[in-house]
């Protein structure tokens, strides 16, 4: 999946309002990698027709997108770095738990996000994500990292895996 920060002109102000909030939150609590993925997700929402972010408060969308990506990448697991408690995330945005959770669920549904989703996994976590490397070969699920290079090259050329493991 190709990611982009491009948004329609009609959504540029809303996009800027949301990512200004999320960039500040990411700087204070997360990292640049999260900030970038959040910008991609906000842009994807802005490109939807009609865009769901056209209505509602920017801070609510900012909280929801951050929470949604946090769920994909286990942000709320204290063994991960960075990490934050979900309640602390809601508090930082000034959003209630029910509002933050419902907006996150809506975003995950709109962008087809799920835990370990290869399309929304932080780049630094790709190597550890088994869903990134699992492919079907002759009806069997296999870890492509344990397959011959020719199979890896085909999977890479088809866009199934992000890079050829031996080249990393």
Is residue 51 situated within a structural domain? yes
**Whether residue 19 sits in one domain with residue 63:** yes
Q: pLDDT tens for residues 114-160?
A: 988 888 999 899 888 888 888 888 898 999 999 999 989 999 998 88
**Whether residue 154 sits in one domain with residue 96:** no
**Whether residue 143 sits in one domain with residue 105:** no
Q: How confident is the model at residue 168 (pLDDT cuts 50, 70, 90)?
A: low
Q: pLDDT tens for residues 48-107?
A: 999 999 999 999 999 999 999 999 999 999 999 999 999 999 999 999 999 999 999 999
Is residue 162 situated within a structural domain? yes
Please give the Cα distance from 154 to 57 (Å, whole number).
Answer: 45
Asked which of 92, 115, 138 is the last residue of a domain, the reply is: 115
Q: Identify the sign of the CA torsion 130, 109, 21, 15.
A: positive
Burial class (CB in 10 A: 0-12, 13-18, 19+), 116: middle
pTM for the model stands at: 0.87
Judge whether residue 4 has pLDDT over 70.
yes
Instruction: Find the CATH number of the domain harbouring 81.
Output: 1.10.472
Asked which of 90, 115, 140 is the last residue of a domain, the reply is: 115
Give the per-residue pLDDT at 163.
86
Range(s) of the domain holding residue 135: 126-167
Is residue 30 situated within a structural domain? yes
Give the per-residue pLDDT at 66.
98
Is residue 2 situated within a structural domain? no
Please give the Cα distance from 168 to 162 (Å, whole number).
Answer: 10
**Whether residue 151 sits in one domain with residue 105:** no
Is residue 86 situated within a structural domain? yes
Q: Are 29 and 84 in contact (CB under 8 A)?
A: yes
Q: pLDDT tens for residues 10-37?
A: 999 999 999 999 999 999 999 999 999 9
**Whether residue 148 sits in one domain with residue 111:** no
Give the per-residue pLDDT at 10.
95
| Gyration radius (Cα) of the chain, Å | 17
**Whether residue 22 sits in one domain with residue 104:** yes
Burial class (CB in 10 A: 0-12, 13-18, 19+), 13: exposed
Mean pLDDT, rounded, for 158-168: 83
Judge whether residue 1 has pLDDT over 80.
no
Give the per-residue pLDDT at 126.
84
**Whether residue 95 sits in one domain with residue 31:** yes
Question: How many domains does one find in the chain?
Answer: 2
């Amino acid at each position: 999946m190709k990611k982009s920060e491009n948004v329609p002109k009609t959504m540029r102000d809303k996009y800027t309002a949301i990512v200004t909030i999320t960039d500040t939150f990411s700087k204070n609590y997360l990292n640049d990698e999260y900030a970038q993925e959040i910008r991609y997700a906000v842009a994807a929402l802005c490109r939807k027709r009609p865009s769901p972010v056209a209505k509602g408060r920017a801070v609510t969308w900012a909280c929801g997108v951050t929470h949604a990506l946090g769920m994909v990448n286990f942000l709320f697991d204290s063994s991960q770095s960075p990490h934050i408690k979900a309640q602390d995330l809601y508090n930082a945005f000034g959003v209630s738990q029910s509002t933050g959770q419902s907006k996150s669920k809506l975003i995950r549904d709109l962008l087809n996000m799920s835990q370990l989703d290869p399309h929304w996994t932080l780049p630094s976590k790709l190597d550890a994500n088994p869903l990134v490397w699992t492919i079907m070969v002759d009806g069997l699920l296999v870890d492509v990292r344990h397959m011959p290079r020719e199979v890896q090259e085909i999977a890479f050329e088809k866009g199934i895996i992000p890079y050829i493991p031996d080249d990393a």
